[in-house]
């Protein structure tokens, strides 16, 4: 242990949430520590029942493109975001929720999936996490 991956998830787009969770799970599976800092549109995905509700980052076409990609993902047997999140937590992944975003968006803790959230923080929490990280990404 000791090696670490820290990801900032700024986007709430479905495909980018997938990227963040797949990379973070990969890091944990390969023996690293991993944490994801959910901020701005990304934080919206931590609202109850919203994890898989994001649009597609490109070719969303009012949800039509998203529907098509979803079908293709099902066909390719891609795991659901809910499952990836549960695996992430089971393997010891850490989730930090951005407090400033909560203030801007007018969100209360009760509206979020608090069972997933390990820490509530600001930029200092991210820097502290990333200070000794080997991999850090902004998605």
Interface region with other proteins, contact rule CB under 8 A, candidates 26-34, 45-53, 57-65, 120-128: 26-34
Minimum CB separation from other proteins for residue 3, in Å?
8
Minimum CB separation from other proteins for residue 23, in Å?
8
Q: What span, in angstroms and rounded, lies between the C-alpha atoms of 24 and 93?
A: 8
Show Cβ contacts of residue 74 under 8 Å, excluding neighbours closer than 6 positions: none
Among 2, 31, 49, 124, the residue binding other proteins under the rule CB under 8 A is: 31
Q: 61-100 mask for other proteins (x: CB under 8 A)?
A: ---------------xxxx----x--x--xx---------
Instruction: Pick the closer one to other proteins by CB: 6 or 34.
Output: 34
Q: In the chain, count of helices (H) and strands (E)?
A: 6, 5
Contact positions vs other proteins (CB under 8 A): 22, 25-26, 28-31, 76-79, 84, 87, 90-91
């Amino acid at each position: 242990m000791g090696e670490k991956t820290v990801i900032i998830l700024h986007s709430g787009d479905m495909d980018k949430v997938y990227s963040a969770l797949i990379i973070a799970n990969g890091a944990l599976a390969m023996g690293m520590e991993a944490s994801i800092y959910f901020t701005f549109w990304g934080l919206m995905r931590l609202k109850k029942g919203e994890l898989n509700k994001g649009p597609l980052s490109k070719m969303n076409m009012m949800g039509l493109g998203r529907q098509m990609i979803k079908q293709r993902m099902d066909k390719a047997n891609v795991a659901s975001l809910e499952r990836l999140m549960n695996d992430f937590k089971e393997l010891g992944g850490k989730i930090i929720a951005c407090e400033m975003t909560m203030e801007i968006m007018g969100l209360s803790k009760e509206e979020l999936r608090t069972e997933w959230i390990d820490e509530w923080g600001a930029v200092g929490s991210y820097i502290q996490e990333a200070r000794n990280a080997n991999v850090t990404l902004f998605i």
